[in-house]
Amino acid sequence: MLTLDLAKWDQSADDLRQEAMNAPHPRTRERFLALYDLACQGQGASAVARATGRHLQTLIRWVHRYNASGPLALTFEHTGGVSPFLTRSRSRRSRR
pLDDT per residue as tens digits for the range 13-63 = 999 999 999 999 999 999 999 999 999 877 789 999 999 899 999 999 999
57-88 per-position pLDDT tens digit: 999 999 999 999 999 999 988 777 777 677 66
**21-56: b or e for each residue (b if 16 or more CB lie within 10 Å)?**
eebeeeebbbbbbbbbbbbeeeeebeebbeebebee
**Is residue 28 situated within a structural domain?**
yes
**Is residue 79 situated within a structural domain?**
no
**Is residue 43 situated within a structural domain?**
yes
**Is residue 94 situated within a structural domain?**
no
Which residues constitute the domain of residue 32? 7-74
Q: Which residues contact 59 (CB under 8 A, 6 or more apart)?
A: 34, 38, 45, 48, 49, 52
**Is residue 81 situated within a structural domain?**
no
**Is residue 47 situated within a structural domain?**
yes
* Distance in angstroms (rounded) separating the CA atoms of residues 19 and 81: 27
